Amino acid sequence: MIDIYDLYFDWLLLRLDSRGVPWTLENLCILLYENPFERRVGNDINRAADGANLRKAFLMDYDEAEIDPRLTNELLEQDCTWLEMLIALAESLDYLYDGGVLNRFIELVTNAGFGPIIMTPGRPEAQGVVDEFDRQLVARITTDIDHNRFDRDGHGGLFPLQKDDHPDQREVEIWEQHAAYFREKLEGVLWTSTH
């Protein structure tokens, strides 16, 4: 019988990069997959829905596999995880701004404060071995963002801003945060048409 959860996790990593991801990033993804995404400001429920919808795409890709329907239903009924939400968000950001899904994902996790986990030099044999300190760090950061415990300018969240001319980022949904973040990043960039 197929282990649907391992297969799905591997499928999620392939969404980031079809060639595979560095082992330190895989370890972070394991931890993000353990944490439900619970932020609900404005339409943040849509970010959760986008993440959970990845499961439907996964099941369509594996519709010929012999997966126990009870496990399929169980997977579909679970809450969206932080990993799913971030992958779906990275895909949307790549569609809007280019840069690659993996690069957008790394930008998001670095902005949130997970950089020490993915930048830590270590031994490749540690792949799949999760450090308890890392587990606690991920749980703290995801909980802080879920409960809006970050700076009004977005520092400590997914989209830190540099300027002061914006609403309190704790009170706006993630989609509005992303718009302000990329507006700052793209200021002064000339958009040209190639007609």
Cβ neighbours, 10 Å, residue 131: 14
Range with the poorest average pLDDT among 22-31, 58-67, 147-156, 170-179:
58-67
Q: Is 117 inside any structural domain?
A: yes
Domain total of the chain: 1
49 alpha carbon, distance to own chain's centre: 13
Token pair, residue 53, equals 């919808």
Beta bridge mates, 36:
81
d(CA 26, CA 134): 13
Look up the pTM and report it.
Answer: 0.89
Q: Give the pLDDT mean for 28-57.
A: 95
d(CA 26, CA 31): 9
Compute the mean pLDDT over every residue in the chain, rounded to the nearest whole number. 88
Token pair, residue 137, equals 């760090």
Domain of 56 in residue numbering reads as 4-186
Q: Give the pLDDT mean for 144-148.
A: 97
Q: Is 195 inside any structural domain?
A: no
Q: Is 52 inside any structural domain?
A: yes
d(CA 105, CA 91): 8
pLDDT at 195: 43
Q: Is 108 inside any structural domain?
A: yes
